Structure 1
């Protein structure tokens, strides 16, 4: 008798999260060991409601489209499971006779995954639990990087370069670009690529360092005065010397995190009011994590691979682990997969290395050595005629 498997998505989707789902489904079908393939409709919410999608007989032609489909094809949520929820989780797992459970998500999702594994062991449930990494924030520990980051970084780099070209072509205002990253500045760091692709001045601020707003404004005024245009890129979660966010929506999400937002507008307002310069705020928001045209090919391929590896590992009897990526960058980029203990990954946040930040608002070469292979090649070479 074949095994029944369940896949769920947690947290904010990425441009490649469905590639991991495709990897799980296609590996399950190829194994000859899986009977039923279920997916939780809207993640943990679906598990609690017993609302599962049966993917067993979905045509292969439809499954193949997952790699070109943004967001989550099965639905996700930001529901943090509590102790009171777990009996219901067990009830659903038993009702559908689930043998293998895969949770595709970031830090909080890996914590949930770990708790499900611990509960199953305590209750004597024969369940294999494997976490599948996903986060554009790139802040999961023990893995070189996370599926979803490469594509979000590519989007940030190219969008910032396009804005930088516009800012330098009509240098009448300071352009401020806000990018996702509540506590980790990996994606915003990629926007500094604009300074390498264009002749525009670029300043970049990450949440790993507190921002001295007076110094920020002085640097903005100095760089703008060079007359080459100025792009300022900021993580949504940057905070001041007082430890408070520069901007705060006042909203708390389902995981208990404050929802940041409005940082670019705040900086823009300061530029206008205190420097007397024109400025405008730009914020791609969800486009930064869901854009298929900007998907990184290595990111797509690795997202698919971690899904397959998760399924294959569970069928070998592995449990209580997250699929992680090891990478070598010289002489050419290559990656491999391994299993990391969920208990060591859950709720551990990997921050951007401080030594990769130059002078508080620049990004050093070490980051680009790390990130460029993940972002994919073929960056454009622009015609820069003004000198």
Structure 2
């Protein structure tokens, strides 16, 4: 492989190339990217148009495309594959699962997940410090996880200091939770709760996830 391009801002970089120019990925360009947070290509949402993207890939002479991302990115890549197949394009599309939520089927662990758990564990420890500083203190830590509670659950296990974990996969019984809170405060004098952002949505007025 002699020519490797980095597409900026996700699919926007292919459907709107005039706004997001591709980056030539050379040895010098990528030498120290592991030392930097985020991505030198910048993340992006939306911008997916299979027809426009295939047109651009043909024009650029790209014959292999790596799609790095979660379920949305890979679902779009599948649509891109269908369009390329209809055109008989000489194009290989390789899906690389990357999701801090770890919510991609058929994979035990996606890269990015361990980093998210480590960061969440540190936040939980901060919540513990706050909770133990007050009489009957309750530290509530809200973590990512709209549809999957892997980060909250694994961070709680890693920290060993969480008294209650709420995840979207398990319906919330409010009475049971309040009893557990009362019992824990009576026993310990403080508690820490880790909540995935999608947990308890069935209790809100609309019942819809936001």
Distance 1:195 1:224 in 2: 19
Q: TM-score, normalised to structure 1's length?
A: 0.50
Distance 1:138 1:88 in 2: 30
1:23-172 alignment to 2 at 5 Å? 34-50=1-17, 51-56=20-25, 58=26, 60=28, 62-79=29-46, 81=48, 85-172=49-136
Give the unaligned 5+ runs of structure 1: 1-33, 251-257, 260-387
Give the unaligned 5+ runs of structure 2: none
2:68 and 2:97 in contact (8 A); partners too: yes
Distance 2:34 2:205 in 1: 37
2:65 and 2:93 in contact (8 A); partners too: yes
Residues 155, 92 of structure 1: alpha-carbon distance in 2 compared, 3 angstrom cutoff:
same
1:239-254 alignment to 2 at 5 Å? 239=200, 243=202, 245=204
Say which SS state the counterpart of residue 122 (structure 2) adopts.
helix
Residues 144, 227 of structure 1: alpha-carbon distance in 2 compared, 3 angstrom cutoff:
closer
Distance 1:171 1:247 in 2: 35
Q: CA RMSD in A?
A: 2.3
RCO higher in structure (CA 8 A, sep ≥6): 1
1:161 and 1:193 in contact (8 A); partners too: no
Q: TM-score, normalised to structure 2's length?
A: 0.88
1:190-234 per-position Cα deviation (integer Å, ceiling 9, x unaligned): 2323662x5xx6111111011112221221111112234211110
The aligned residue for residue 233 of structure 1 is 194
1:176 and 1:231 in contact (8 A); partners too: yes
1:195 and 1:202 in contact (8 A); partners too: no
Distance 2:206 2:69 in 1: 26
Residues 135, 166 of structure 1: alpha-carbon distance in 2 compared, 3 angstrom cutoff:
same
Distance 2:159 2:66 in 1: 40
Aligned residues: 208
Residues 95, 245 of structure 1: alpha-carbon distance in 2 compared, 3 angstrom cutoff:
farther
Distance 1:104 1:194 in 2: 27
Aligned match for 2:149, one of 185, 188, 193: 185
